[in-house]
């Protein structure tokens, strides 16, 4: 397995309403940094992906849903990550995604900071990030101009950007979240973080 | 997390037609032995479970199926496990399951040896274990009486035993394979073997 280029960024596709993506979000930056890598954060709407692929949220699958609600806190405890299921759950993360891409246009670092703050609100505190007003509140807590952001959420270019991310995700055969590409190699699931770490250490196999 | 009893066996529920269960089967005995544990091997028919739970085979899910066919050999390479997809695939493992439970009644160790030989034939060599004659061939290779086994596959008590295993699996909320219970704690997936190892080392968390 050859690298497409040394130290190219890890692509991290995530869904704001996914507890496993939340867990991965708490660890992926440090993991990448240990191997001299950047991470490209790319929120997507898994619901829109599922429309194309026929998938469905984990928690809607009989038995698997119950297991997930036991497994998520267990995974969190192992890594000392706080977790509390958001209310409402599941929820549509359209506003959260649009806010991310609106901010990213100006400042990718700030967009990532917002993503982390939104996750902290939703899965760290069990809060609500399902609507534009709730997303704007979190953004304002980071010193972002709420009025500008509110307008940005309605910007046709931002709506189109999110549609593009979803379309590209389906083209790249992303069917769930978190989903990673490491030098083009696809990895699905929070439970692949250890595999990714070994992959980076060894150069792949 | 308290143990229900020291050194109680790990329960290993598997489906003969599951590539991830095949991968787990190559490692679970050694893993358990490192922690002074036995493993109870319990083949089930995931198709029968799916009828109750609405689940479906991984390889039937759009995109996820393609990913699986890439991920399985990648997981195998990491651990030096030979893997070749069986032909036919997917297949109904009724004969394989019945043969296991027929043998187990007399000699659990022999039943486990048969399970390993069947997996080696199916996923090690890419062979066919989908019918009674193919299962009997593999059993004869282990010195098992083929005529007796053939009769055993039609034994009503054995058919009932398999139905019971499936019913119990659904009651215990098993929705996929491999599925493990470690002191009552459920773990789903080949990618949870490392978690199980850490769980056994630490006594749980």
Percent of chain B with pLDDT over 90: 88
Set of chain B residues whose Cβ sits within 8 Å of the Cβ of A188: 67, 71
Burial of A45 (0-12, 13-18, 19+ CB in 10 A): buried
Is it the case that residue A85 has pLDDT exceeding 90?
yes
- Is B55–A67 a contact, with Cβ atoms under 8 angstroms apart? no
Tell me what pLDDT residue B100 has: 98
Segment B47-56, tens digit of pLDDT: 988 888 878 7
Set of chain A residues whose Cβ sits within 8 Å of the Cβ of B79: none
- Is B191–A188 a contact, with Cβ atoms under 8 angstroms apart? no
- Is B64–A55 a contact, with Cβ atoms under 8 angstroms apart? yes
- Nearest CA to CA, how far is A172 from chain B (Å)? 9
Q: Lowest mean pLDDT: which of A40-44, A138-142, B1-5, B13-17?
A: B1-5
Segment A21-52, tens digit of pLDDT: 999 999 999 999 999 999 999 999 999 888 88
| A55/B contact by beta carbon, under 8 A | yes
Q: What is the ipTM of this complex?
A: 0.91
Residue A40 pairs with which residues in a beta bridge? A11
What is the enclosing helix (H) or strand (E) of B23?
Answer: helix B19-25
- Nearest CA to CA, how far is B117 from chain A (Å)? 27
Is it the case that residue B113 has pLDDT exceeding 60?
yes
> Structure pTM?
0.93
- Is B78–A195 a contact, with Cβ atoms under 8 angstroms apart? yes
Is it the case that residue A5 has pLDDT exceeding 60?
no
Q: Are A135 and A117 in contact (CB under 8 A)?
A: no
- Is A78–B195 a contact, with Cβ atoms under 8 angstroms apart? yes
Report, as an integer, the average pLDDT of B142-149: 98
Among residues B72, B85, B96, B65, the alpha carbon closest in space to that of B23 is found at B72
């Amino acid at each position: 397995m050859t690298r497409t280029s040394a130290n190219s960024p890890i692509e991290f596709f995530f869904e704001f309403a996914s507890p496993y993506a939340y867990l991965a979000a708490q660890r992926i930056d440090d993991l990448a940094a240990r191997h001299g890598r950047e991470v490209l954060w790319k929120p997507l709407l898994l619901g829109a992906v599922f429309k194309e692929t026929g998938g469905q949220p984990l928690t809607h699958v009989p038995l698997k849903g119950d297991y997930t609600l036991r497994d998520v806190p267990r995974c969190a405890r192992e890594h000392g990550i706080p977790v509390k299921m958001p209310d409402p759950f599941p929820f549509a993360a359209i506003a959260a995604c649009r806010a991310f891409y609106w901010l990213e246009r100006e400042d990718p670092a700030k967009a990532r900071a917002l993503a982390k703050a939104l996750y902290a609100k939703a899965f760290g505190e069990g809060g609500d990030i399902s609507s534009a007003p709730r997303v704007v509140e979190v953004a304002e807590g980071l010193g972002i101009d709420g009025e500008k952001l509110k307008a940005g959420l309605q910007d046709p270019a931002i709506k189109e950007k999110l549609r593009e991310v979803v379309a590209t995700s389906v083209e790249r055969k992303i069917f769930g979240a978190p989903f990673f590409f490491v030098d083009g190699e696809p990895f699905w699931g929070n439970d692949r973080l250890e595999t990714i770490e070994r992959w980076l250490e060894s150069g792949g196999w």
